[in-house]
Amino acid sequence: MSVPTALRARAGTLRGAVPGWLGRSLRAARAPFPRAAAVRGALAVSVPLMVGLLAGHPVAGVVVGLGGLWAVGQDSAAPYKARALRIAALGGSAAVGLLAGATALRYGDAVVIAALLAVAGLVSGWVSVGGPLASVAGMHLLLGATVGTGIPVPGPWWAGPLELLGGALFALTLTCLPWLWRRHSPEREAVIAVFDAAERALSRAGTSGATEARARMTLALNTAQDLLAVHSSRKHAERPTSIGGLITAFRASVQLVEAVTALMVEGRPLPPAVVRVPSLLAARVVPPVRAGRPAPDASGPVPDREPEPPFTADTPGLRALAEVYRAPGRSLTLLPDPPAYAGPRLADRLRFALLLGGCTLAAAVVAYLLHGPRGYWLPMTVAFLYKPDLGPVFGRALNRCLGTVAGVGMVAVVAWLVTDQWALTLVAAVFGAVMAAGVRYHYALSTFGLTVIVFVFIDFLGDDRQLLPSRVLETVIAAALVLTAHFLTRPDSWRVRAELRVAAADRAWRRYDRRAPAASPDERHQLRRTAYRRLAEARQALDTAGAEPHRDPDRFPVLERRVARAEQGCDAITAYVVAGGRR
């Protein structure tokens, strides 16, 4: 047996020995390296530190850098308007939390500080379940309060909150600056990704990879729908602007995906002339990216002669693809509506508020016993960890511990090699980039970068470096508190969430099956979009649930089979309608 074969066999044996839920917790995301995010992370942390040193106010530089650090950690590839709202909500809530925490630290004792953190945890938990924007605001309200109660900020009462908010606004400026020359680039890239995914799906038609390729095509269309939903009003859709052109391209991609799905159900390999059709369509319908440049007016006069497809349309799927090729998106008025969001129940709000408030109070008490007034790390870690909407709680706890251990090891190396504060700003820049990239790749990697940056902040504050090794113990304690609260109160939460999503997917595809044959094109595409979106949400819920320890391992494959059957049913009704089926 060759060495590579032996290594692959050994790796396969190790993977087989690791429980499935543990492997999913440790799995990294597949994504291209986010160069722009890494640059923003480096600048958002290091520039405030440099300015603070030059001005002779290093503590103020740390507070501003902290605001930039949190903002970069919550950035995403969403449209610029959504990113601006997210960072603004983060900065405002963190500043309010810091003001409350600093006030308790200045004028209260240990009991007042613990009570303030418990209240902040209650409010954070109540707010956090209100949606993605509320989740970010709630978490950073609690983070601001924990930092305010653990780090004395010199100057008047308003200085610290304004510095923290200034750091978030600096990161916001770095994030939104490219808007000036690439205004709708995230939306455009998302639409192009749909055409690319459709081409990959066509290339895998009739092969064992067809199912996975169809699923990736659905996810790409979901992403494009979400990013364009903020622009989906009629005034945007009907104007000859870049965003109007992107909405027209989205409509074409909706039709394209339906035709591609039908071709994949036909189950035969396709010639290159068919496979490259999505690329040809994208070149025709996706508008240029430069801000202010008008897009092609899809509502203008129709050419005298429609372009002929470069293939022979001899099956229902190919005929549907030929129709899209001739007039992409022209017959649809469908808008990229946002996904429906059902607000949280009162019981869910109250349960999470009490759990997060209780965990924060327990963390504050343990931290005070360990470190006195400098015990901000423990409650801050609880605030980061107890976020079920951001992924499996067990996975976040495990990766937080791994990242902290690795970060403290790197801190030992940095402390041995670097003592000058100017050199430390360069260290902060490097690991600010690592943290920002880690947000897209793996939670442990982002925690690793964060831990080293905290070391730099501690050095600027003149705090005790000897506290850093104990941060590993505190991280483990915080993880134990969160996991105990989570699994004692809702041990079957993974199953409940997954079953609810699977049931919603079942209802959506059966509604599509029942209504699609007699529906108008707009209604049919809306039914299909809803069905496939619910199926993707069910898949995501199952993936999240699979990363949690569970007591009923046999239940998980049953739910996966239900989703697979529903996907097959959706594909079958799509092919039936494309073939002209009517009831």
Nearest to 146 by CA among 164, 122, 120: 120
In this prediction, residue 301 carries a pLDDT of 44
Q: Which residues have C-beta within 8 Å of that of residue 435, sequence separation ≥ 6?
A: 41, 69, 72, 73, 445, 446, 448, 449, 450, 453
Q: Can you say whether residue 309 is alpha, beta or left, with left for phi > 0 and alpha for psi between -120 and 50 degrees?
A: beta
pLDDT digits (tens, 9 = 90+) for 5-30: 544 444 444 444 455 555 555 565 66
Q: Which residues have C-beta within 8 Å of that of residue 473, sequence separation ≥ 6?
A: none
In this prediction, residue 287 carries a pLDDT of 81
Q: Rounded to an integer, what distance in angstroms lies between the CA atom of residue 391 and that of residue 393?
A: 6
In this prediction, residue 229 carries a pLDDT of 79
Q: What is the 3-state secondary structure (H, E, C) of 295-342?
A: CCCCCCCCCCCCCCCCCCCCCHHHHHHHHHHHCCCCCCCCCCCCCCCC
- Is residue 366 within 8 A of residue 114, CB to CB? The reply is no
Q: Max Cα separation, the chain?
A: 81
pLDDT digits (tens, 9 = 90+) for 78-121: 777 778 888 999 999 999 999 999 999 888 888 898 899 999 99
Q: Which residues have C-beta within 8 Å of that of residue 450, sequence separation ≥ 6?
A: 69, 73, 403, 407, 431, 435
Query: What DSSP state is assigned to residue 116?
Result: H
- Is residue 94 within 8 A of residue 140, CB to CB? The reply is yes
Q: Rounded to an integer, what distance in angstroms lies between the CA atom of residue 203 and that of residue 187?
A: 25
The helix/strand/coil state of 248 is: helix
In this prediction, residue 293 carries a pLDDT of 40
Q: Which two tokens mark 462? A: 């003149």
Nearest to 557 by CA among 505, 510, 498, 500: 498
Q: Rounded to an integer, what distance in angstroms lies between the CA atom of residue 583 and that of residue 575?
A: 14
- Give this prediction's pTM: 0.81
Per-residue pLDDT of the chain (583 residues; tens, 9 = 90+): 454 454 444 444 444 445 555 555 556 566 677 788 888 999 999 999 999 999 888 889 999 999 999 998 887 777 777 788 889 999 999 999 999 999 998 888 888 988 999 999 999 988 888 777 888 899 999 999 999 888 888 888 888 899 999 999 999 998 888 776 677 788 888 899 999 999 999 999 888 888 889 889 998 998 888 888 777 655 555 555 677 788 888 889 988 999 999 999 988 888 999 999 999 998 888 887 544 344 444 444 444 456 777 777 788 888 888 888 887 776 677 767 766 656 567 777 888 888 899 999 999 999 888 876 567 888 888 988 888 776 778 888 888 888 888 888 898 888 888 888 888 899 999 999 999 888 887 888 888 998 899 888 888 877 666 666 787 888 889 989 988 888 787 766 667 778 888 888 899 889 998 988 888 888 888 888 889 989 988 888 888 777 777 666 667 778 888 888 998 999 898 888 888 765 4
Taking residue 523's Cβ as centre, other Cβ atoms within 10 Å add up to: 13
Q: Rounded to an integer, what distance in angstroms lies between the CA atom of residue 72 and that of residue 253?
A: 32
Residue type, 502: V
